[in-house]
Amino acid sequence: MREIVFDTETTGVDPDEGHRICEIGAVELLGQMPTGRTFHALINPCRDMPAEAARIHGHTNESLADKPVFAAIVKDFLEFIGTDTKLVAHNAMFDLGFVNRELTLCGHDPLPVERIVDTLAIAREKFPGKGHTLDALCNRFSIDLTRREKHGALLDSELLAGVYVELMGGRQRGMALGGPEEDQPGDRVYARAPVRDWPVRIFSPSEEEKERHRAFLSQLGDPLWAEVPGFRH
pLDDT band at 192 (very low <50, low <70, confident <90, very high): very low
Q: Can you give the pLDDT at residue 212?
A: 82
Look at residue 6 and give its three-state secondary structure.
strand
Predicted TM-score (pTM) of the model is: 0.73
pLDDT of residue 196: 44
Question: What are the boundaries of each domain within the chain?
Answer: 2-171
User: What is the mean predicted confidence (pLDDT) over 202-229?
Assistant: 72
Question: 151 an active-site residue?
Answer: yes
Residue 38 has pLDDT above 80, yes or no: yes
Is 135 marked within a binding site?
Answer: no
Dihedral of CA atoms 56, 62, 63, 67 in degrees, nearest 10, equals 120
16 is in an annotated binding site: no
200 contacts: CB under 8 Å, gap ≥ 6: none
Can you list the pairs that 124-133 forms with residues at least 24 positions away whose Cβ atoms lie under 8 Å?
126/167, 126/189
- Is residue 156 part of an annotated ligand binding site? yes
Q: What is the pLDDT, as a whole number, of residue 185?
A: 41
- Would the pLDDT of 53 be above 60? yes
Reported confidence tier of residue 208, pLDDT bands at 50, 70, 90: confident
Q: Is 57 assigned to a binding site?
A: yes
Query: Which one of 90, 132, 151, 233 is the catalytic residue?
Result: 151
Band of the pLDDT at 214, cuts 50, 70, 90? confident
Can you tell me the distance from the alpha carbon of 54 to that of 57, in angstroms, rounded to the nearest whole number? 5
What is the pLDDT at residue 219? 77
Instruction: List the beta bridge partners of residue 33.
Output: 30
Confidence of residue 231 (pLDDT cuts 50, 70, 90): low
Share of the chain above pLDDT 70, in %: 80
Architecture of the domain delimited by 2-171:
2-Layer Sandwich (3.30)
What is the band of 176 on the pLDDT scale with cuts at 50, 70, 90? very low
For 155, the 3-state DSSP assignment is helix
pLDDT at residue number 205: 75
**What is the per-residue pLDDT across 67-97, written as a single tens digit (0 to 9) for each?**
999 999 999 999 999 999 999 999 999 999 9
What average pLDDT score do residues 208-233 get?
Answer: 70
Compute CA 183 distance to the chain's CA centroid, rounded to the nearest angstrom: 15
Spatial contact of 45 and 11, defined as CB atoms under 8 Å apart: yes
- Consult the annotation and say whether 213 binds a ligand: no
Q: What is the pLDDT of residues 104-143, one digit of tens each?
A: 999 999 999 999 999 999 999 999 988 999 999 999 999 9
pLDDT at 209: 78
